[in-house]
Amino acid sequence: MSMSCATADEVVLIKTIDAGRYADSQALCAPDCRQALAWSDWETHVSKAMYEMLRTLENVLRSTISARLSTYYGRADWWNAPRLNLTYATMSKIEKAEEKLSRAGVPATPTAIQREVSLGFWVTLVGRGNDYETQLWRPMKAGFPGYRGRREPFYRRLNHLRLLRNKVAHQDRIGGRDLAADRQSVLTTLGYVSEAVARRVEAADTALPLLLANRPGVCAQRRGSGS
């Protein structure tokens, strides 16, 4: 492989921010290629755009599921309903949220607790659990009027997006994924709740389609060398 096209200062920067990890395979002329910075910047912008969509999805899931279960079980803290038998793992997430609020000096109201738990909590509620099909899915599914399928495919879609959200949160590379399909999956899921919400999010997201159409590409020096 040829020598790097980067300057000494750029090499230091590339190594410091670990920029090379975000480039496509075979895109760089060397591990510390200048093009790694372009890929790192692109990945940052793509992750930010995707996170904004996933944040909206989390808010919509929380408000939808919470409203349906609170109504069905007749209390704002629906997870404490005597006839509801949640798994230990599910209840642990609630308890950790309560502890975190307590340490911060914030009253552990039902609203505060539900805002504190992660996207993974809401996805778990659509899983198998302790007969969550009967206890949770049947009461909540009316909150997704655009969805006509079974619980399991819906859970798989949500879990796929949860894993994507985790990758974004942990600065893992997402540029190698089919992000156009991921974006559509978010919009489809939002549409299960409200087509109006899905249309609004799609209209607001002008960044991601533009970014996907302008990937950084291969280093000019690598192209010139025919490597």
pLDDT for the residue 25: 85
pLDDT of residue 1: 44
pLDDT in tens, 29-38: 999 999 999 9
* Of the candidates 97, 161, 91, 98, the residue with the CA atom closest to the CA atom of residue 129: 91
Angle made by CA atoms 46, 47, 48, in degrees to the nearest 5: 90
Q: Per the domain annotation, does 4 fall within a domain?
A: no
Is residue 104 one of the residues assigned to a domain? yes
**H helices present in the chain, as ranges:** 8-17, 35-73, 88-103, 110-116, 119-124, 132, 138-140, 151-169, 179-193, 195-204, 207-212, 220-225
d(C-alpha 135, C-alpha 39), whole Å: 46
**Any domain includes 220:** no
Does a structural domain hold residue 136?
yes
Range of the domain at 91: 50-214
Q: Domain tally for the chain?
A: 1
pLDDT score at 81? 98
DSSP 178: -
Instruction: Render pLDDT for 179-199 as a digit per residue (tens, 0 to 9).
Output: 999 999 999 999 999 999 999
**Within a domain: 137:** yes
In a domain? residue 195: yes
- What is the C-alpha to C-alpha distance for residues 185 and 53, in angstroms, rounded to an integer? 11
The verdict on residue 162 lying in a domain is yes
Residue 99 backbone class (left: φ over 0; alpha: ψ -120 to 50; beta: rest):
alpha
Residues of the chain with pLDDT under 50: 1
Q: pTM above the 0.85 mark?
A: yes
Assigned domain for 29 exists: no
The pLDDT score that the predictor gives to residue 148 is 95
